[in-house]
Amino acid sequence: MLTARGWWLLVSALFLTGVGVAISIRHGGLLAIAGFSLLTWLMIEAVQFHVRLRWTSKQLNLSRQIRDEHSAVNTLWTHRSFEVEVRVQSSSRLPSPYVIAEDRLPFGVELQGEASPAGTTITRYQPATIRYRIRCHSPGTIRFEGVRLRFADLQGFFFHETFIRQPLEFPVLPSLKSVDSHQRTKKRHNMLLPPGIHHLRRAGSGSELLDLRDYRPGDPPKMIAWKASARKDKLITKEFESEVPVRCTLFVDCSQAMRLGPPGRNSLSRVIEIAATATQAALSNRDQVGLVLFDEAERSYLAPKRGQRHLMDVLRRLGSVAKLPPTAPTGDMRPLLEIAHAFAHEVYPDLLQKDINHLPWWVPILYPRPEWLRKLTLTDAVMPWWRRFSPSEWREMDLRKRLSVVLAWQQGIAPGGLAQLLEDDALFMESLQRFLTDHRIPFPVPLYDWRGNYVFADPLKIDQLSEALVATVRRARDNELFVIFADLFEHGPHLEPLRNAVKVALGRHHRVLLVAPWNPDFPPPGEAQARPKRDDDVIGLLRQATIERYHRAFEFVRKEFGRLGVQVVCAQSSEPTELILERMEQLRLGGIRR
């Protein structure tokens, strides 16, 4: 494709050639020869550029590597810096035109420094290399789509832009924090067992004497009971009781309501950070931590264990749910169309070319969408033909058709799926949200329906949480701690199953702690909120009303569960992690409050 400079040169050469041919009839052909020479040189440059481009563009290879301070890694950690190295190599013997390579940064990462594009001529022995450093602020998954290449000749007369797709995903785990300040005391016995019976009746490193036995070769001398040995005239070895670990199970809400907001700035990110910190602190004390992940449809259970491998398993599970964005069955389709088309135009340019993906202008006029497939408005009743000649409707249909081709190809829909995506709004909305979700692109979702009801208040989540809590109590062996991270703000009429499950846990002498998620943009409970400066500030008034509704819902949940003796804390404050460890210490000391 010609650049602006190339067009000016072509027009100038044609003008000189035309003028020279007109003048050469009387005064010679110097101008014609000059113009024809420019046209010939420009044609040679065009043929050379396109031959090198077509020959080398099909033989380009992309490789990516992420390194930390020591070596290459496959797993990233939050709040740590990593170096990304991208190489574009060619297996062709013919050198490519001059190319500028730019890596597409994934969403949810912070660029440290500058990611300067690599400009060079790619050969078999000279790749284009891009290096930059990134930093992740929230757990989840980052996705690298590929590299954008912009080819041009050295004179700047021709250019071509393409995109090499190589989707790669890297998990981002919560960072490991220092837990040296959390001191551990010793738990001497289980509270629920009859006197004289112990679950861990085996030798250990505790301080309570368990039994005396005969000396065996290999026993350490410090374990010999010298007074008992003197009485029996043989060596006797002391066995001490094992320290009983405290078990804690974390219930993490992964529903749609927790995912609202951009990555790193939603309620789920803060909850995962608290859960990861509490897990690391508890496992460093040799306690056992379990994990239950639940949403509206399903739940998963990880039994309480300890050890480094179990810690990595917990962090991986937390990171796998942090990447999920919210989805809504209904909503405005136009913002999603604009977001998805801008992304597809950058990453899938070959699927949006007009020669293979184009909607003729006369199709919306002659073949509009049937009335039973679209939402009718008052304007449709007054002017039923307005949609056929509306520019906005034609653009929406054009974007939908072009994106339907990309969705049908990317999601592997069978033949006939393109027509189904064009006609079925529910299927197209679901496929569009899945497309944005797979590529880790945030998109807006409606929070309230036209009646003012909260869209993400699903009673099925309460049922899943209640069943998971009762099942965990059934598996419990000792007095345990259950920490619930759940959004219960808009579930007032549906909290009865959860209250019954909490009563069952408290009746078995377990402890329950409820950590309420919080929007990081809202002031925590108890803090004064800023009033809008003007009465006509609609956005400020809506924000104030939303914050007040949030605070009222928190007070309702705190009162409802406070009657049962369950403490409710806000996740945005600095209390949850310390409070979880304090409850575990109370269980370790036999329920004595400090």
For residue 98, tell me if it sits in a domain.
no
| pLDDT at site 498 | 92
Please tell me whether residues 431 and 352 are part of one structural domain.
Answer: yes
Does residue 315 form part of some domain?
Answer: yes
The last residue of a domain, from among 374, 407, 438: 438
Contact 524, 574 (CB under 8 A): no
The pLDDT value recorded for residue 177 is 65
As a whole number of angstroms, the distance between CA 134 and CA 106 comes to 10
Among 194, 220, 241, give the residue marking a domain's end. 241
Same domain, 278 and 425: no
Residue 41 lies in a domain: yes
Backbone φ, ψ for residue 240 (5° rounding):
-105, 155
Q: How many domains does one find in the chain?
A: 4
Residue 174 CA: distances (Å) to CA of 276, 491, 580: 6, 29, 18
> Is 529 part of a structural domain of the chain?
yes
The C-alpha atoms of residue 166 and residue 411 are separated, in whole angstroms, by 16
Q: How far apart are CA 256 and CA 456, in angstroms?
A: 6
Give this prediction's pTM. 0.73
Beta carbons of 253 and 299 less than 8 angstroms apart = no
- Looking at the structure, do residues 309 and 337 belong to the same domain, yes or no? no
Q: Are residues 403 and 505 in the same domain?
A: no
Decide if 219 is inside a domain.
yes
Phi/psi of residue 86, each to 5°? -120, 135
Establish if 29 belongs to a structural domain.
yes
Q: Are residues 396 and 343 in the same domain?
A: yes
The set of residues, in sequence order, having a beta carbon less than 8 Å from that of 178 and lying 6+ positions away, is none
pLDDT tens for the chain, 594 residues: list them.
788 888 898 888 888 888 877 776 666 577 788 888 888 998 998 899 888 888 888 888 899 999 988 888 888 888 889 999 999 888 888 888 888 888 888 887 888 877 777 778 888 888 888 899 999 888 888 889 999 999 988 888 898 888 998 899 888 888 776 555 454 544 444 444 444 444 444 444 455 676 788 988 888 888 889 999 998 889 999 877 556 678 899 999 988 888 877 766 788 888 888 888 888 888 887 788 999 999 888 899 999 988 888 988 998 888 888 777 777 766 678 888 999 999 999 899 888 888 888 887 777 667 666 655 566 565 555 565 556 666 777 788 888 888 988 898 888 887 778 888 888 888 888 888 888 888 888 888 777 776 777 777 788 889 999 999 999 999 887 778 999 998 888 787 888 999 999 999 998 888 899 988 887 777 877 776 666 666 666 777 777 888 888 888 888 888 999 899 898 888 877 667 778 878 877 776 554 443
d(CA 9, CA 3): 10
pLDDT of residue 553: 86
- 308 and 412 assigned to the same domain: no
**In this structure, are residues 327 and 455 in contact, taking their beta carbons and an 8 Å threshold?**
no
Task: Say whether both 551 and 463 belong to one domain.
Answer: yes
Q: What are phi and psi of 281, to 5 degrees?
A: -65, -40
Same domain, 307 and 395: no
Residue 78 in domain: no
Determine the pLDDT at residue 530.
63
Other Cβ atoms closer than 10 A to 554: 19
Domain harbouring 293, CATH code: 3.40.50.410
Q: Identify which of 545, 565, 564, 542 has the alpha carbon closest to the alpha carbon of residue 553.
A: 545
Tokens of residue 19, six digits: 């003028």
CB 564 within 8 A of CB 505: no
Which of these three, 225, 241, 257, is where a domain ends?
241
Indicate if 582 and 460 belong to the same structural domain.
yes
Based on the domain organization, do 471 and 576 belong to the same domain? yes
Q: Considering the domain boundaries, does residue 120 fall inside one? A: no
Tell me: do 348 and 316 sit in the same domain: no
Give the domain range for residue 416: 333-438
On whether both 365 and 299 belong to a single domain, the answer is: no
